[in-house]
């Protein structure tokens, strides 16, 4: 019988990562889009880095940063009593960094596609930036919000290199589905590996299908 | 520099970067409370910039704005002392009592007409104004529609109603009628005039359409190259002094038809079509769409090109 725990862990990790990314990505993309400044190109490059960097490179540096022998790791360990290496919270933080561009980039493109006078009109009506964001801008960005959330979710489900580096393969803690497949193949348990692989394949496909269906419907209907 | 009493005192300088190179916007004017001022001038003269400075959407290099005894902007007066003097007063857009109608209306795509107006209300406002405005602008039937399903004129009325809903002291209209056909323009001029009087607004209208300016404005400022060229009531500003006449009006030529040896020129003046007989010499400089003045000197009305 298939052990559902790695799949459950993957889902939990992806859900939590997506929730955090929504809270983090919306203000970040808004801030990047608000006023163009040369140095914001640097911020955008840093955010997009995980898209081109081998996951093992990102995982390696996160491992170094989070390890209790580093300054950051020591600080977290000593003052907050938090361990990020080989723990679930560590996986969440790594996943957030790893999937950040998948949330921020669609939102950034969305914010930039909105006419500037929408937020100006809201300001002339006496509304704060926050009210403008919630009531005027975000309702116009349903499609990028859905794309960003779904892609971040799918990308987190599919991550392997980063998880492997920073989480290892502790059952019930850091052994997510993608890592479980690798473990089963290592131990030549091909049928078990296939179980996990099939579930991930079906899940990834359904998620992408959903995104394209939503975008398709959105493009056909007027705002 | 202090002014007392109700109304607007505006003074600003700003270097404008236009396609034709950079030029300095440098102007000052005062406006009585409850009056309607038209800003007229070629595009790139800085009309929109003035509205944006008033709204706090654009920062001038130096400036001073006081509305009904409330300071909105004061960058200090030493403009030759330091080009980047720090603002001593700079009220953010949100805190200025303004209504702004943008050239392309800037309606919120996801809100219905009614929701746009409700959104514009301050927290403690009397909510009846929403229904009053919907009625005044003849939008009741359309109140549950989103902007994508409205015509240009309906969008314009929605934008106007939304700008007034919070009961601003100063209403700023940035060529709000430029996208509309003539019939719609006349109707909307009525709405603007009605709203201006009903809600006791002080209004600034950017326009390059003379009939509109004659119809609506108490005063006109003609801007050219960033400076005030002429200022005063519309007839005084636009009509040349040398014509002393009993009757004069302005309009736009809508048709020129030959009739025997003369021509019949149809001129749209306000809501009326005026037919004027002209000789072939007289129509030489005239064409359909041109803004003209009709003046009656002795017996026959004469047509004079404007602007």
Tell me the pLDDT tens digit for each residue of A43-70. 999 999 999 999 999 999 999 998 888 8
Dihedral angle at the C-alpha atoms of A101, A104, A106, A107, nearest 10 degrees? 180
- Residues A103 and A21 sit within 8 Å (Cβ to Cβ): yes
The residue of B94, B98, B99, B159 whose CB has the most chain A CBs within 10 angstroms, and thus the best one to mutate to test that interface, is: B94
User: pLDDT of B245-286, one tens digit each?
Assistant: 566 778 888 888 888 888 888 888 877 888 888 888 888 878
Q: Say how many C-beta atoms besides its own lie within 10 A of residue B128's C-beta.
A: 8
What gap in Å lies between CA A26 and CA A49, rounded to an integer? 19
Contact A222 B148 (CB under 8 A): yes
Q: Exposed, middle or buried: residue A49 (CB in 10 Å: 0-12, 13-18, 19+)?
A: middle
On whether the B242-305 domain is CATH 2.40.50.100, my answer is yes
- Residues B219 and B52 sit within 8 Å (Cβ to Cβ): no
Q: Which residues contact A146 (CB under 8 A, 6 or more apart)?
A: A211, A214
- pLDDT at residue A60 in the model: 92
Tokens of B219: 């005063």
Nearest chain A residue to B101 by CA: give it. A121
Give me the CATH code for the B7-237 domain, please.
Answer: 3.40.50.300
- Mean pLDDT, chain A, integer: 90
What gap in Å lies between CA B161 and CA B102, rounded to an integer? 12
What gap in Å lies between CA B175 and CA B124, rounded to an integer? 31
Contact B120 A125 (CB under 8 A): yes
How many domains is chain A built from? 1
Q: Exposed, middle or buried: residue B24 (CB in 10 Å: 0-12, 13-18, 19+)?
A: middle
To the nearest whole Å, the CA of A123 is away from the closest chain B CA by: 5
- pLDDT at residue B240 in the model: 60
What gap in Å lies between CA A151 and CA A158, rounded to an integer? 10
**What sections of A39-189 are H helices per DSSP?**
40-52, 55-66, 71-75, 88-113, 116-124, 129-131, 142-158, 161-167, 177-186
The pairing of beta strand B170-174 with beta strand B98-101 = parallel
Segment 183-222 of chain A within 8 Å of chain B by CB: 222
- 3-class DSSP state for residue A112? helix
Best mean pLDDT range from A153-162, A214-223, B18-27, B179-188: A153-162
The full set of domain ranges for chain B reads 7-237, 242-305
The residue of A110, A113, A126 whose CB has the most chain B CBs within 10 angstroms, and thus the best one to mutate to test that interface, is: A126
| pTM of structure | 0.79
pLDDT above 50 (res A223): no
What gap in Å lies between CA B69 and CA B222, rounded to an integer? 26
Instruction: Give contacts of A124 with chain B, Cβ < 8 Å.
Output: 55, 57, 93, 98-100, 163
- pLDDT at residue B298 in the model: 61
Tokens of A57: 């490179």
pLDDT less than 70: residues of chain B? 1-5, 77-87, 240-247, 297-300, 307
- Residues linked to residue A215 through DSSP beta bridges, in sequence order: none
Comparing C-alpha atoms, which of B204, B231, B233, B210 is closest to residue B48? B204
- pLDDT at residue B173 in the model: 95
The pairing of beta strand B219-224 with beta strand B36-40 = parallel
Give the residue numbers spanning the domain of A163: 5-220
Whether B4 and chain A come into contact, CB under 8 Å, resolves to no
Write the DSSP symbol of residue B105: -
What gap in Å lies between CA B117 and CA B129, rounded to an integer? 9
Comparing C-alpha atoms, which of B66, B67, B89 is closest to residue B76? B89
Residue-by-residue DSSP string for B40-70: E--TTSSHHHHHHHHHTSS--SEEEEEETTE
Whether B57 and chain A come into contact, CB under 8 Å, resolves to yes
Instruction: Give contacts of B149 with chain A, Cβ < 8 Å.
Output: 222
Task: Provide the CATH number for the domain around residue A63.
Answer: 1.10.3720.10
Contact B57 A124 (CB under 8 A): yes
- pLDDT at residue B87 in the model: 52
Residue-by-residue DSSP string for A68-91: TTSHHHHHIIIII----TTSHHHH
Write the DSSP symbol of residue B250: E
- Residues B31 and B39 sit within 8 Å (Cβ to Cβ): no
Nearest chain A residue to B95 by CA: give it. A126
- pLDDT at residue B1 in the model: 43
Contact A117 B146 (CB under 8 A): no
- pLDDT at residue B299 in the model: 63
What gap in Å lies between CA A11 and CA B294, rounded to an integer? 78
What gap in Å lies between CA A62 and CA A126, rounded to an integer? 44
Give residue A94's pLDDT band: very low, low, confident or very high (50, 70, 90): very high
């Amino acid at each position: 019988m298939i052990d559902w725990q790695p799949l459950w862990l993957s889902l939990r990790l992806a859900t939590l990562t997506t929730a955090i990314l929504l809270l983090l990505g919306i203000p970040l993309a808004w801030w990047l889009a608000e006023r163009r400044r040369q140095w914001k190109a640097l911020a955008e490059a840093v955010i997009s880095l995980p898209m081109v960097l081998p996951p093992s490179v990102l995982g390696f540096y996160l491992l170094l940063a989070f390890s209790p022998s580093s300054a950051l790791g020591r600080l977290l360990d000593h003052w907050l009593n938090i361990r990020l290496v080989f723990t679930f919270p560590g996986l969440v933080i790594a996943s957030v960094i790893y999937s950040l561009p998948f949330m921020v980039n669609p939102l950034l493109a969305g914010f930039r596609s909105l006419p500037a006078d929408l937020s100006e009109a809201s300001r002339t009506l006496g509304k704060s930036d926050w009210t403008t964001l919630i009531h005027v801008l975000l309702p116009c960005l349903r499609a990028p919000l859905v794309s960003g959330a779904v892609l971040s979710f799918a990308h987190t489900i599919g991550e392997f290199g980063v998880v492997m580096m920073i989480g290892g393969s502790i059952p019930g803690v850091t052994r997510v589905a993608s890592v479980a497949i690798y473990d089963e193949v290592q131990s030549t348990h091909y049928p078990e590996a296939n179980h996990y692989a099939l579930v991930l394949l079906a899940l990834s496909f359904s998620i992408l299908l959903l995104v394209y269906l939503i975008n398709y419907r959105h493009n056909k209907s007027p705002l | 520099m202090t002014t007392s009493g109700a109304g607007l005192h505006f003074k600003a300088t700003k270097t404008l970067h236009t396609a034709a190179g950079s030029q300095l916007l440098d102007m000052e004017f005062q406006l009585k409370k409850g009056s309607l001022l038209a800003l007229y001038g070629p595009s790139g003269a800085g009309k929109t910039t003035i509205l944006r400075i008033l709204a706090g959407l654009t920062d001038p290099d130096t400036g001073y704005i006081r509305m009904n005894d409330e300071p909105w902007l004061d960058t200090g007066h030493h403009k030759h002392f330091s080009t980047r003097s720090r603002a001593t007063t700079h009220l953010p857009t949100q805190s200025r009592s303004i209504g702004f109608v943008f050239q392309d209306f800037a309606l919120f795509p996801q809100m219905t007409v009614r929701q746009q107006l409700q959104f514009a209300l301050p927290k403690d406002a009397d909510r009846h104004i929403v229904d009053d405005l919907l009625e005044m602008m003849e939008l009741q039937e359309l109140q549950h529609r989103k902007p994508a399903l409205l015509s240009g004129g309906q969008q314009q009325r929605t934008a106007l109603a939304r700008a007034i809903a919070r009961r601003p002291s100063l209403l700023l209209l940035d060529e709000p009628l430029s996208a509309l056909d003539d019939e719609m323009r006349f109707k909307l001029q009525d709405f603007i005039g009605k709203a201006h009087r009903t809600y006791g607004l002080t209004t600034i209208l950017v326009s390059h359409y003379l009939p509109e300016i004659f119809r609506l404005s108490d005063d006109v400022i003609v801007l050219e190259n960033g400076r005030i060229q002429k200022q005063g009531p519309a007839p005084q500003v636009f009509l040349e002094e040398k014509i002393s006449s009993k009757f004069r009006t302005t309009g736009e030529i809508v048709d020129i038809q030959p009739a025997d040896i003369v021509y019949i020129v149809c001129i749209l003046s306000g809501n009326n079509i005026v037919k004027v007989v002209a000789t072939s010499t007289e129509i030489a400089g005239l064409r359909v769409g041109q803004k003209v003045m009709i003046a009656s000197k002795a017996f026959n009305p004469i047509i004079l090109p404007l602007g």
